[in-house]
């Protein structure tokens, strides 16, 4: 309980310092964000037993945080945001860039905005970075999260939009990998035709309705700075080597995590 209070006292001071002067244009409500994090933290700490590796690499400045996307539903994003808010020496409220589908939902749209999420378009991204915010990007998109069992931990090709925005903003990219989330729903089949009919990103079918208590490890890689001479208007083939390099970094972090992956059975025995 003492650790819990210390974490959130530190976070409250950081948020008060950053957001007390003006209202956030995208709807972030600091008090609501802290309230939500307090509700999520017991699941983060005890249900998913999250461990954060490499936090010493994160400085007190803005980053574009780039992660793999796993687990069928975006719990991985919640856990990453909780880690950055409660585990770092300089707490950060990450601003996840989310699909328009989420922002259009009556309750979830407002709830996610008050917690810091932002519609993932180019203008929002650039304005957030200009204001010194750190954003969370999943360059695999829905293809990353909506994988069938046979494709677990297979990184999907990254889109290039995030790279152009990093070049425009001249911020470092922080690669991270989440390991353990694919086991939330270990047996999955996707009803692609139904998803298309309902105009939703995915309709996964699984044996369990609630995510299993799979232990999670989040690995932070070394910051990646794009060359100063590379333009945001560069041709795709000029960006490709950097896309490949970032994919490789996240693949390496993922493989490191898989070698040391904890299982649900191991947790039950301990």
What pLDDT sits at residue 145? Answer: 64
pTM of the model: 0.90
| 8-state DSSP, 155 | P
Residues 6+ apart with CB under 8 A from 121: none
What is the pLDDT, as a whole number, of residue 217? 98
- CA–CA dist 222, 174 (Å, integer): 7
- Residue 92: exposure state from Cβ atoms within 10 A (0-12, 13-18, ≥19): buried
What is the pLDDT, as a whole number, of residue 262?
A: 92
**Residue 191, CB half-sphere, CA atoms under 13 Å: how many?**
10
Q: What is the pLDDT of residue 144?
A: 58
Phi-psi region of 153 (alpha: psi -120 to 50; beta: other; left: phi over 0): left
Segment 160-181, tens digit of pLDDT: 999 999 999 999 999 999 999 8
Average of per-residue pLDDT values in the chain: 86
* Pairwise CA distance, residues 242 & 248, whole Å: 10
Which residues of the chain have a pLDDT value below 50? none
The sign of the dihedral angle between the CA atoms of 41, 64, 220, 257 is positive
pLDDT of residue 101: 67
Sorted by where each starts, the structural domains of the chain and their CATH numbers stand as: 1-268 (3.40.1130)
Task: Give the model's pLDDT for residue 215.
Answer: 95
Mutual angle of helices 75-86 and 30-42, in 10-degree steps: 110
């Amino acid at each position: 309980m003492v650790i819990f209070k210390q974490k959130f006292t530190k976070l409250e001071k950081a948020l008060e310092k950053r957001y007390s002067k003006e209202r956030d244009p995208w709807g972030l409500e600091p008090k609501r964000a802290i309230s939500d994090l307090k509700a999520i933290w017991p699941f983060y700490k005890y249900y998913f037993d999250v461990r954060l590796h490499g936090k010493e690499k994160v400085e007190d400045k803005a980053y574009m945080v780039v992660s793999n996307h796993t687990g069928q539903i975006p719990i991985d994003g919640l856990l990453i945001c909780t880690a950055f808010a409660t585990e770092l020496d300089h707490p950060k409220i990450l601003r996840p860039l989310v699909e328009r589908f989420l922002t259009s939902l009556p309750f979830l749209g407002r709830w996610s905005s008050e917690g810091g999420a932002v519609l993932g378009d180019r203008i929002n991204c650039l304005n957030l970075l200009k204001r010194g915010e750190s954003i969370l990007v999943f360059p695999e998109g829905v293809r990353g999260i909506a994988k069938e069992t046979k494709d677990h931990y297979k990184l999907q090709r990254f889109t290039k939009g995030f790279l152009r925005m990093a070049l425009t903003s001249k911020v470092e990219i922080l690669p991270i990998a989440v390991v353990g989330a694919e086991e939330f729903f270990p047996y999955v089949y996707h009803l692609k035709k139904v998803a298309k009919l309902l105009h939703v990103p995915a309709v996964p079918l699984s044996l369990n309705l609630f995510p299993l208590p799979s232990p999670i490890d989040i690995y932070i890689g070394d910051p990646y700075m794009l060359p100063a001479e590379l333009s945001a208007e560069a041709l795709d083939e000029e960006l490709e080597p950097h896309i490949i390099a970032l994919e490789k970094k996240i693949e390496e972090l993922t493989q490191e995590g898989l070698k040391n992956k904890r299982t649900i059975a191991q947790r039950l025995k301990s």
